[in-house]
Amino acid sequence: MSSRRDFMGMALGGFTALGGIGALYAMKKSWDPLPSVKAAGFTKIDLSSMVENKLAVEKWRGKPIFILKKTADMKKDDRDLIVGSDRYHLSIGLCTHLGCIPAYKPDDKKFLCACHGGEFDTAGNNLPGLPPPSPLEIPPFKLEGTTLVLGETGPEYQKMFDAGITV
């Protein structure tokens, strides 16, 4: 009779485990970011009022976003956003070293991170020989005329993403 006992015990155990998986799924869902958090993950920014060489900082998904209208003498880069005849630098303003917020130095035309001395140029590329391992990250964006929608993926962003410019 022992085999029947074992079989029934295992059948019950297996079935209970199945229910356990269901319960774990519900728990996982309860732990997810709330729909309201996700719905708030889109920010619209008007580019037309930007001033050259003056850094604008906006907030998107709780993170600082850098937008810099580039002057003509700044080096052109594949990372730039081109709107009409203007070029913009757009990035998540967190140093790729350990996540501090770099400050923009308009006179030197570069970003300096005070935490560990990392530096980035006006295209967000990390300058060699310093702690940051990679350029500033670019948030997903979509261009609607002169309005920038952060959080949505437009063709310009897709191109950068495919080219491996940002992750």
Partner 1 sequence: MNKELKIFAVVAAFTIALYWGVEPFAHSQMHAHVDGNGLVYDGKADIAYTSKDKVKAKKAFWADVKTIAALKGDVTAGEAGFATCTGCHMDGAANMGGVTPPILDHAGALYDKNYLIALIKDPAMAMNTDHKFTGTRTHPMGSIKAMMTDNQQIADVVAYIKAKKAGEVTPKEAYVESCGRCHANRYGNSTQLGETPKFKYKKDELAYQIKVLEEQDLIKAYMGKIPPDLSIIYRARSHHFLETFIENPQSQLHGTAMPRVGLSENGMHKVMAYLEETGDPSKPARDALGPWVLLFFVIFTILAYLWKNSLWRDLH
Partner 2 sequence: MAKFEKASSIGEWLDQRIAVETLKKVMQTEYWIPKDINFLWAMGMVLAATFGILIVSGIFLLMYYQPHVDHAFDSVNYLIMTEVGYGWLWRHIHGVGASLVFLIIYIHMFTGIYYGSYKRGRELIWISGMLLFVLFSAEAFSGYMLPWGQMSYWAGMVITNLFSGGSLEAYGLVEWIRGDYVPAQAFLTRFFMLHVFLMPLMIIGAIVFHFGTLRIPHVNNQEGEDFDYAEAAELYKAGKVKESKVIPFSPVFLSKDVFVMGVYFVLFFYLVFYNFSFAMDPVNFDPANGLSTPAHIYPEWYFLWSYEILRPFSKDIGLILFAISQVIFFTLPFLDRSPNVAPASRRGLFKYWFWILLVDCLILTFMGKLPPTDPTFASIGLVSAVIFFALWIALPIITKLEKKL
Minimal distance, residue 12 CB to partner 2, in Å: 7
With 0-12 / 13-18 / 19 or more C-beta atoms within 10 angstroms meaning exposed / middle / buried, residue 93 is buried
Sign of CA dihedral 81, 86, 90, 96: positive
d(CA 142, CA 47): 12
SS3 category, 89: strand
User: Contact between 163 and partner 1 (CB under 8 A)?
Assistant: no
Site for partner 2 in 1-60 (CB under 8 A): 9, 12, 26-27, 29-32, 34-36
User: Contact between 29 and partner 1 (CB under 8 A)?
Assistant: no
Residue whose CB is less far from partner 2, 27 or 167: 27
Q: Which residues bind partner 1 (CB under 8 A)?
A: 1, 4-5, 8-9, 11-12, 15-16, 18-19, 22
